[in-house]
Amino acid sequence: MINVLFDDRQDVIEITGDNCKAVEKAIEEVIKAEELEEDFEVSVSFVTNEEIKGLNKEFRNVDSETDVLSFPMDDEFEGVVLLGDIVLSTQRIIEQANDFGHSLEREMAYLTVHSMLHLLGYDHMNGDEKTEMRSREKEIMKKLQIFK
């Protein structure tokens, strides 16, 4: 079982039920691809560029906007693994979807997959890590069958 908690703290786009389903499906596909069988909980927040920039500065000492931030918890509560928090900038989702010619759903799903891999310990700080993480992202996105 995977419990996804949503928090919409922005007014740039309307977060629909379909958006939430796409995010949940991306989370489920990562869990499945990693062959994990525990019960999990993940929180997903939709925020503005201003808020994500503040979080990026506070927690990473990087004074700029970003598309997604991951805050791993790796804790357990009553038999449920609390993986952590995913924070998505809706403005960056729109910008990047337009830049890459993707749908908002595809960009949202990709950023969710990317962030979930971070929550599970993947990183892209050096060449080998980046290659492995990008490979996992591509494999999972292919399984999600969101191509545009």
CA distance 56 to 63: 7
Q: Quick one: pLDDT at residue 107?
A: 95
Q: Which of 3-12, 61-70, 71-80, 105-114 has the lowest mean pLDDT?
A: 71-80
Q: Is 42 helix (H, G, I), strand (E, B) or coil?
A: strand
What superfamily does domain 2-144 belong to in CATH?
A: Metalloproteases ("zincins"), catalytic domain (3.40.390.30)
Q: Quick one: pLDDT at residue 128?
A: 81
Does the annotation list 102 as a binding residue?
no
Measured CA to CA in angstroms, residue 63 lies from 17, 40, 58 at distances of 32, 32, 8
Q: Quick one: pLDDT at residue 47?
A: 98
Range of 2-11, 72-81, 124-133 with top mean pLDDT: 2-11
64, 108, 70: which is closest to 90 by C-alpha?
Answer: 108
What tokens appear for 147 in the block? 């191509």
Measured CA to CA in angstroms, residue 35 lies from 3, 86, 91, 111, 143 at distances of 17, 20, 33, 20, 14
Q: Provide the pLDDT confidence category of residue 147 given band limits of 50, 70 and 90.
A: low
What mean pLDDT do residues 21-48 have?
95
* For the chain, percent of residues with pLDDT exceeding 70: 99
